[in-house]
Amino acid sequence: MIRTLSILDRSRTREGHPAPQALRDTVALARTAEELGYHRFWVSEHHSVPGVAGSAPVVLAAAVAGATDRIRVGTGGVMLPNHRPLVVAEQFGVLESLFPGRIDMGLGRSVGFTNGIRRALGRDTGDADRFEEQLAELLGWLDGTQQAHPEVHARPAEGLRIPAYVLATGEGAAIAARAGLPLVVGDLRSRDRVAGIVERYREEFRPSAAGTDPYVVVSGTVAVAATAEEARRILLPEAWSLAYSRTRGSFPPLRPAEEVEALEMSPKERELYEGALTGHIHGTQEQVAAELSRVAEQTGADELLVTTSTYDRAALLDSYARLARITGLRP
């Protein structure tokens, strides 16, 4: 059983609710996560996605950290190719200075997912190939070893110990291994693939100042309820949103599960929808406990980062509470 549990919330918008409400919901969820005993709470970076309000993760992380007292707070992640490493170092330096010992720096290599977004960001797909170089520069700003600009210092970041985590997109796992950094890998619907990535990461890991041993965080959707059917209904809004995006090119806000169940879908939509529902961990507490034990055995993960999204906030909070009880975070 994986005992260290954390949450990544993408600030998904809900039909009929303004985007600012999604951000307020994220902050409220962080407070609940802290009460339930979760280890860390991360937020994400998405640009110009209609169904996602989380576009500025460092800003949102500051709001989350200010609203909580103990839980670790970070990003899952800041997409480093979209930013100058110096600015990222400065931003996290401010966070760590304000909330010492609680800040994580999760980093990814993705750029905007459409040409228009990439142009607006001043980036192109080739920028992702510079991720390893940018990561080394960022770490150099933090420990004071960067040589490209010896007259410049990242204040107040220089000298602060801010844990860095690498998302396993593209070559992320190999880069994390070479840098001696913890790895975040998903999703759990493809466990054989995840297990292979983790195995190679552990084999190639080089100890560093950041850590002497590999550390693996696996990420995935988990839904827990009183019955397996109720747990499955938690998954319906996100599954339909994914199916919609792949047939219409737009990622919409989440709709209530009962509306999704009443939809008349085309054969292609139905295929995509059903596919989006498969492979997630969901069920009663006993069923999910058994599945989490299998995940631990298959992947050797040190930590589980839960990324569940749904329309019904009460059902989501209940799911997180039940998951905390499964793993012993709460009685």
pLDDT reported for residue 304: 97
Average pLDDT over residues 77-84: 93
- Out of 93-102, 120-129, 135-144, 289-298, which region has the weakest mean confidence (pLDDT)? 120-129
Confidence band for 115, pLDDT divided at 50, 70 and 90: confident
Pseudo-torsion of CA 262, 248, 277, 302, nearest 10°? -140
Could you tell me which residues come within 8 angstroms of residue 18 by beta carbon, excluding any fewer than 6 positions away?
none
Check residues 242 and 128 and name the one with the higher pLDDT.
Answer: 242
Average pLDDT over residues 85-100: 98
Confidence band for 259, pLDDT divided at 50, 70 and 90: very high
The first and second tokens of residue 223, run together, are: 């839904």
Average pLDDT over residues 194-207: 96
Average pLDDT over residues 309-324: 98
| Most confident by average pLDDT, 110-119, 121-130, 194-203, 246-255 | 194-203
> Above 80 in pLDDT, residue 124?
no
pLDDT reported for residue 182: 98
Average pLDDT over residues 139-150: 93
Query: Could you read off the pLDDT of 24-50 as tens digits, one per residue?
Result: 999 999 999 999 999 999 999 998 788
pLDDT reported for residue 153: 95
Check residues 249 and 181 and name the one with the higher pLDDT.
Answer: 181
pLDDT reported for residue 248: 87
Give dist(CA 326, CA 322) in Å, integer.
6
Average pLDDT over residues 135-164: 95
What global pTM score does this model have? 0.95
Could you tell me which residues come within 8 angstroms of residue 320 by beta carbon, excluding any fewer than 6 positions away?
7, 29, 32, 33, 36, 38, 306, 308
As to burial, measured by CB atoms within 10 angstroms (0-12 exposed, 13-18 middle, 19+ buried), residue 70 is: exposed
For the chain, the domains span 5-222+283-326
pLDDT reported for residue 239: 97
What is the average pLDDT score of the chain?
94
CATH of domain 5-222+283-326: 3.20.20.30
Query: Could you read off the pLDDT of 222-239 as tens digits, one per residue?
Result: 999 999 999 999 999 999
